[in-house]
Amino acid sequence: MAIQLYNTLTRKKEKFVPLEEGKVKMYVCGPTVYNYIHIGNARPAIVFDTVRRYLEYRGYDVQYVSNFTDVDDKLIRAAHQLGEDVPIIANKFIDAYFEDISALGCKKADFHPRVMENMDTIINFIRQLVDKGYAYESEGDVYFRTRSFNEYGKLSHQSIDELQVGARIEVGDKKEDDLDFALWKAAKEGEIFWESPWGPGRPGWHIECSAMVKKYLGDTIDIHAGGQDLTFPHHENEIAQSEALSGKTFANYWMHNGYINIDNEKMSKSLGNFVLVHDIIQKHDPQVLRLFMLSVHYRNPINYSEELLESTKAAFDRLTTSYQNLKHRREASTNLTADNQVWLDKITGLREQFIEAMDDDFNTALAISVLFELSKLANYYLLEKNTATQVIDAFTTEFEELFRVLGLTLEKEEMLDEEIDVLIEKRIQARKDRNFQLADQIRDQLKDMNIILEDTPQGTRWKRG
Ligand SMILES: [Zn+2]
């Protein structure tokens, strides 16, 4: 069986055939770093990290690139409001982004290119489009001549005339045609700028991805991915820019994840229901948020609510409890051989089901239901009076492997002794300062990590529970 994936370009599930055997070139549009990420940004990060992990599990060598938009209108506005420079705002939220996504179990990309660090590449790309007649300068701006690219609209399945009528396209008298979009924007008074052949300014948003893909992965890549809202105009424009320049197919497969709703409502600034990952993971285990995101097929909409997260936590605990019970039982197990094979075959059967689910357009929802089958089977096995080490090991290995593919971990990370000592010192100080709330908070935090404190006349001792 080969992996099948749904391609937005053809609107069909297709067999995945990479350009080069055993290798995958993958690009995922990254965030604009003017704020902490909200759960709408977390979904593509988790979904496409899982796609990458699964492709690696199936033996592919994946080159994964995801950009940071570190200069644009939103960043300029945020910098202005906070009285800071754009690069300082960008650095702050790039750090926060890495902190959030690593908590969510997402691996770093091979490259995380930033606009500010790739200005020459971007300017060079635009210059070549101008030279070829696909773009033109107008009062310090540069625009892409949309009608010059015959296949415009092929990703979002719209004809150029439909777009002309229906699309909300920024109208400006600097353009030859309303459909044209900006590749370079002349700097307004007081704005951050870079020098270019067209005067001081900064790149438009779409061009950065075309330039980054070309620089880091080449003219043609296997998978280009992002949120569904990026299909038009962002991805459509990326195709136009890249294919106009290279004359080659830009990406063979286009993957888009569905929307996220909050309590059955669209997440929007005006409704004030923006949920930041930063805030959720203060209250909930980030692993639970990840499991929740993967519990719905990536192309379907997902509804977020506190209650759903709570029930996901209960489900997550069921899985980890099975695993812990298996581990505890290992010591008391023997080298039974009688009906081991029956159990081993059942475990293998479940792995095959898991692979089948993931091969079918990365159906994590179904794959997770297989994990619960595995957990049920393990619990059933543990009812046996005598258990075999071999079977226990097969179960635990299976848990570990399938969890890893989904980017989940089974064991809480252990705190280092030094970290514990630091916290205990902090608690002693808090008690001296009569800040009992903080002292209790530290005690609870340690308790969560299974560290038990004992206050004795000689001082505070601790042990692992
Ligand atoms: Zn992009």
Find the CATH number of the domain harbouring 215. Answer: 3.40.50.620
Both 108 and 251 in a single domain?
yes
| pLDDT tens by residue, 45-87 | 999 999 999 999 999 999 999 999 999 999 999 999 999 999 9
- Residue 365: which CATH number? 1.20.120.640
Same structural domain, 314 and 222: no
Q: What is the token pair recorded at 9?
A: 């370009």
Claim to verify: residue 448 and residue 400 sit in the same structural domain: no
Average pLDDT rounded to a whole number, residues 266-291? 88
Contacts of 75 (CB under 8 A, 6+ apart): 32, 33, 34, 69, 86, 89, 90
Q: At a CB cut-off of 8 Å and minimum separation 6, what does 424 contact?
A: 442, 446, 453, 460, 462
Dihedral angle over CA of 301, 305, 311, 314, nearest 10: 110
How far is the centre of ligand 1, averaged over its atoms, from the C-alpha of 251 (Å)?
A: 12
pLDDT band at 272 (very low <50, low <70, confident <90, very high): confident
In which residue are the tokens 């038009």 written? 232
Q: Are residues 224 and 365 in the same domain?
A: no
Q: Who surrounds ion ligand 1 at CB < 5 A? A: 29, 209
Residue 429 pairs in a beta bridge with none
pLDDT, tens only, 432-462: 898 888 888 888 888 877 788 888 877 788 8
Dist. CA 386–CA 95, nearest whole Å: 51
Q: Is residue 275 part of a domain?
A: no
Which of 227, 195, 236 is closest to 299 using CA atoms? Answer: 227
Please say if the pLDDT value at position 188 is more than 90: yes
Q: How far is the CA of 463 from the centre of ligand 1 (A)?
A: 50
Tokens of 87: 């690069």
Query: Given this model, what pLDDT does residue 336 score?
Result: 78
What is the reported pLDDT for 383?
95
Give me ligand 1 centre to Cα 133, in Å.
Answer: 23
Alpha-carbon gap, residue 175 to 145, rounded angstroms: 9
Based on the domain organization, do 395 and 444 belong to the same domain? no
Each residue of 353-364: b (16+ CB within 10 Å) or e?
A: bbbebbbbbbbb
Q: Flag whether pLDDT at 119 surpasses 80.
A: yes
In a domain, 130, yes or no: yes
Instruction: Give me the percent of the chain exceeding a pLDDT of 70.
Output: 97
pLDDT tens-place string over residues 368-420: 999 999 999 999 999 998 999 999 999 999 999 999 999 999 876 566 677 78
Please count the CA atoms within 13 angstroms of the CA of 23 that sit on its side-chain side. Answer: 6
- Burial of residue 49 (CB within 10 Å: 0-12, 13-18, 19+) is buried
CA of 230 from ligand 1 middle (Å) equals 8
Phi, psi angle pair for 10, to nearest 5°:
-105, -5
- 332 and 249 assigned to the same domain: no
Distance 294 CA to ligand 1 centre (A): 23
CB atoms within 10 A of CB 110: 14
pLDDT of residue 171: 56
Q: For residue 247, report the distance from its CA to the centre of ligand 1, in Å.
A: 19
Distance from Cα 111 to the centre of ligand 1, integer Å:
14
Q: Is residue 298 part of a domain?
A: no
End-to-end Cα spacing for the chain:
46
Q: Is residue 267 part of a domain?
A: no
Distance 223 CA to ligand 1 centre (A): 12
Lowest model confidence (mean pLDDT) among 109-123, 146-160, 262-276, 299-313: 262-276
Residue 447's pLDDT is what? 81
- Compute the distance from residue 453 Cα to the ligand 1 centre, in Å: 50
Query: How many A from CA of 191 to the centre of ligand 1?
Result: 23
Q: Is residue 465 scored above 90 in pLDDT?
A: no
CA of 151 to the centre of ligand 1 (A): 19
Q: What is the mean pLDDT of residues 166-193?
A: 83
Helix or strand holding residue 373 (H, E): helix 364-381
Range of the structural domain that residue 437 is part of: 417-464
Give the least confident one: 67-76, 88-97, 258-267, 373-382. Answer: 258-267
Higher pLDDT, 269 or 300: 300
Least confident of 157-166, 175-184, 220-229, 304-313: 157-166
Going from the Cα of 235 to the center of ligand 1, the distance in angstroms, rounded, reads: 6
Q: How far apart are the CA of 245 and the centre of ligand 1, in A?
A: 17
| 442 occurs within a structural domain | yes
| Pairing status of strand 221-227 against strand 23-28 | parallel
Question: Which residue, of 257, 285, 320, is where some domain finishes?
Answer: 257
Of 218, 241, 257, the residue at which a domain comes to its end is 257
Tell me how far the alpha carbon of residue 129 lies from the centroid of ligand 1, in angstroms. Answer: 18
User: Cis ω on the peptide bond leading into residue 233 (within 30° of 0)?
Assistant: yes
Same domain, yes or no, for 188 and 140? yes
Number of domains into which the chain is organized? 3
Measured in Å, residue 210 CA sits from the centre of ligand 1 at: 7
Do 242 and 126 share a domain, yes or no?
A: yes
pLDDT at residue number 279: 92
- pLDDT of 282 > 60? The answer is yes
Residues 21 and 162 in one domain: yes
Q: From ligand 1's centre to the CA of 234, what distance in Å?
A: 6
How does DSSP classify residue 187?
Answer: P
- How sure is the predictor about 186, in pLDDT bands with cuts at 50, 70 and 90? very high
Residue 353, domain member (yes or no): yes
Q: How far is the CA of 275 from the centre of ligand 1 (A)?
A: 23
Q: What is the pLDDT of residue 172?
A: 60
How far, in Å, is the centroid of ligand 1 from the Cα of 222? 15
Rounded to the nearest angstrom, the distance between the alpha carbon of 20 and the centre of ligand 1 is: 23
Residue with tokens 């004809």: 159
288-341: per-residue pLDDT in tens?
Answer: 999 999 999 999 999 999 999 999 999 999 999 999 999 999 988 888 777 899
Categorize the per-residue pLDDT at 129 as very low, low, confident or very high, splitting at 50, 70 and 90: very high
Q: Which residues of 400-425 are buried (b: 16+ CB within 10 A; e: fewer)?
A: eebbebbbbebeeeebeeeebeebbe
Output the average pLDDT for the chain: 93
Task: Tell me the CA–centroid distance for residue 438 and ligand 1, in Å.
Answer: 44
What pLDDT shows up at residue 243? 98
The alpha carbon of 206 and the centre of ligand 1 are apart by a number of angstroms equal to 6
Greater pLDDT, 109 or 283: 109
Is the residue at 61 inside a domain? yes
**Comparison of pLDDT for 159 and 26, the residue scoring more:** 26
Nearest-10 crossing angle of helices 364-381, 389-405: 160
Q: What average pLDDT does this structure show over 24-42?
A: 95
Same domain, 180 and 207: yes
Residues 310 and 337 in one domain: yes
What is the model's pLDDT at position 128? 98
Per-residue confidence (pLDDT) for residue 168, from 0 to 100: 53
Residue 167: pLDDT over 70: no
- d(CA 417, CA 419) in angstroms, rounded, equals 5
User: Residue 109 C-alpha to ligand 1 middle, in angstroms?
Assistant: 15
Separation of alpha carbons 106 and 438, rounded Å: 31
Q: Within this chain, do residues 399 and 424 fall inside the same structural domain, yes or no?
A: no
Rounded distance from Cα 209 to ligand 1 centre (Å): 5
What's the gap in Å between 166 CA and the centre of ligand 1?
23
User: For residue 422, how far is its CA from the centre of ligand 1 (angstroms)?
Assistant: 43
End-of-domain residue from the set 198, 228, 257 = 257
For residue 325, is it within any domain?
yes
pLDDT digits (tens, 9 = 90+) for 216-233: 999 999 999 999 999 999
pLDDT at 208: 98
Cα of 182 vs centre of ligand 1, distance in Å, is 14
Q: Is 265 exposed, middle or buried (0-12, 13-18, 19+ CB in 10 A)?
A: exposed
